[in-house]
Amino acid sequence: MLKFLLFCTLAVASRADIAEEEDVLVLKKSNFDEALKAHPNLLVEFYAPWCGHCKALAPEYAKAAGMLKAEGSDIRLAKVDATEETTLAQEFGVRGYPTIKFFKGGEKESPKEYSAGRQADDIVSWLKKRTGPVVATLTGVTEAESLIADHEVAVIGFFKDTESALAIAFEKAAEAIDDIPFGMTSDDAVYSKFEVSKDGVILFKKFDEGRNTFDGELTKEKILAFVKANQLPLVIEFTEQTAPKIFGGDIKSHILMFVPKTATDFQDKMDQFKKAAEGFKGQILFIFIDSEVDDNQRILEFFGLKKEECPAVRLITLEDEMTKYKPESDSITAESIIEFCTQFTEGKLKPHLMSQDIPEDWDKTPVKVLVGRNFEEVVFNPKWNVFVEFYAPWCGHCKQLAPIWEKLGEKYKDSPDIIVAKMDSTANEIDAVKVHSFPTLKFFPAGEERKVIDYNGERTLEGFTKFLETGGKEGGAPAGDDDDLDSEDLDDVDEGHEDESDGEDNEHDEL
């Protein structure tokens, strides 16, 4: 009996060891397994205390934890300081912050990566879809009203025969969407309440027109397309919380309006922008960015804009390569935006490539200064071997490289066929090279072939010299083989995902 009491005391002490902060369990290696046993449905955030994205997520994450706890749900939210619990971070493949994983049934082997938005409602909806029925059965008006009231977006299928092929197609569509709740009803009172006269699908939302009725053949694919086209507001603000929805969606063409919220004509500009958006639903995502917010200044810089130049409009496609477009007119009216978007959808626009003016003394210094306007004629001069650093003024790694690059330029300043150059890629763009990280180093050997060779060697004067003296063979790799930053890393940056270091220890700063 004493042994049994001692065992119980130790077990209680072990469970009590799991502290909570704002309804979020605080996990460590010492209590992680215990937490999985005690909570069969557990969402765990691996974070870093210095991570800005983690700080932005924290209040919404705590709010979601509180909502579930208040409902008496067996789903719990937890967090792990991955900078302290490095063994856990390594075990679960944490590469950036925040990384969020869902553990079901106490299993550690294959947790599910969290894939929805970063607002409390998104988190709760995703978890309920993962732990409950894919489609909730709505047996009365109260249940239907609650589903709609409790969520920013909800989809209800109205089917008299819930076993029909149409109802099954609806369920299959629901399985493919994690972050929106689906319900189904055959109740006459619910039909009457929402003025539905025949079987169909309605998307309810707390913005814009309030509801959208599906019109067409009820197949899984068409229901999915309907939901994806209507689940976001006509115009969505870019923030830490909305970034995952913006970049994680299927719509890869985005038009952005940069405007200060404090402007006296802000609402007028928004009304014009929203009016234009109505005709491009499902084709182009309309986004506005508060140009006065400090965190948005890098985005303005990426588009070659300054605060004083706003309001302004730009369009970007996020396919294999990012392509930017600029309207001919600075006017922000529904008519001008519709014309701009129509030209884009019809393939009549040319990409907008930024370029500074050519400096008068661009070739007077050991390191030549390239801009968009003189790039081609210099790097593809068949008589010259040109070694170029593509940099960003704010990039810490570029600043570290600068004195070495200057020494390299000095070493070859009198060479008849070797040119050492640099280009500010935040202000200049060219078709020949797509820059995704800083610094990017590329070599353009002499000849008519227009070859491009990536530099992958040591960033030392000796390494650079050996590379140039061997014609780009020692330390070089064919263009396209550079693996310093892959597409997944770009997605992490776009969606609000910070790299594991604080930026100063990496070889590149990301765009």
Say whether both 373 and 448 belong to one domain. Answer: yes
Task: From the candidates 8, 310, 341, 398, give the one annotated as an active-site residue.
Answer: 398
Domain CATH for 473 = 3.40.30.10
Query: How much is the average pLDDT of 332-347?
Result: 94
Say whether both 243 and 322 belong to one domain. Answer: yes
Look at residue 501 and tell me whether its pLDDT is greater than 60. no
For residue 110, give the 3-state DSSP assignment: coil
Say whether both 210 and 260 belong to one domain. Answer: no
Query: How much is the average pLDDT of 196-210?
Result: 94
In a domain, 91, yes or no: yes
In a domain, 67, yes or no: yes
Q: What angle do CA 414, 416, 419 make, to 5 degrees?
A: 75
* Contact by Cβ (8 Å): 131, 75: yes
Q: How far apart are CA 242 and CA 229, in angstroms?
A: 16
Q: Is 398 a catalytic residue?
A: yes
In a domain, 485, yes or no: no
Q: Which amino acid is at 365?
A: T
* Terminal CA-CA length for the chain: 65
Say whether both 29 and 126 belong to one domain. Answer: yes
**pLDDT tens digits for range 85-119:** 999 999 998 988 899 999 988 888 888 888 788 88
Look at residue 56 and tell me whether its pLDDT is greater than 70. yes
Domain stops at, among 346, 379, 399: 346
Q: How far apart are CA 84 and CA 130, in angstroms?
A: 29
Helix or strand run (H / E) with residue 112:
strand 112-113
pLDDT given for residue 175 in this prediction: 87
pLDDT interval class at 486 (50, 70, 90): very low
Say whether both 218 and 268 belong to one domain. Answer: no
Range of the domain at 220: 135-229
Q: Is 341 a catalytic residue?
A: no
Say whether both 244 and 221 belong to one domain. Answer: no
In a domain, 333, yes or no: yes
In a domain, 265, yes or no: yes
Task: From the candidates 8, 310, 341, 395, give the one annotated as an active-site residue.
Answer: 395
Domain stops at, among 229, 252, 274: 229
Q: What is the pTM of this model?
A: 0.61
Q: Is 310 a catalytic residue?
A: no
In a domain, 353, yes or no: no
Task: From the candidates 8, 51, 310, 341, give the one annotated as an active-site residue.
Answer: 51
In a domain, 94, yes or no: yes
Look at residue 170 and tell me whether its pLDDT is greater than 80. yes
Task: From the candidates 8, 54, 310, 341, give the one annotated as an active-site residue.
Answer: 54
Say whether both 430 and 335 belong to one domain. Answer: no
Say whether both 220 and 249 belong to one domain. Answer: no
pLDDT given for residue 368 in this prediction: 96
202 vs 5: which has the higher pLDDT: 202
Whole-number average pLDDT of the chain: 86
Say whether both 341 and 431 belong to one domain. Answer: no
**pLDDT tens digits for range 228-268:** 888 889 999 998 778 877 887 778 899 999 999 999 999 99
Q: How far apart are CA 406 and CA 384, in angstroms?
A: 19
List the single range of 4-13, 34-43, 272-281, 443-452 with lowest mean pLDDT.
4-13
Look at residue 480 and tell me whether its pLDDT is greater than 80. no
Q: Is 8 a catalytic residue?
A: no
pLDDT given for residue 510 in this prediction: 44
**pLDDT tens digits for range 260-306:** 999 999 999 999 999 999 999 888 999 999 999 888 888 888 888 88
Say whether both 296 and 376 belong to one domain. Answer: no
* Contact by Cβ (8 Å): 196, 147: no
Domain tally, the chain: 4
Q: How far apart are CA 401 and CA 439, in angstroms?
A: 8
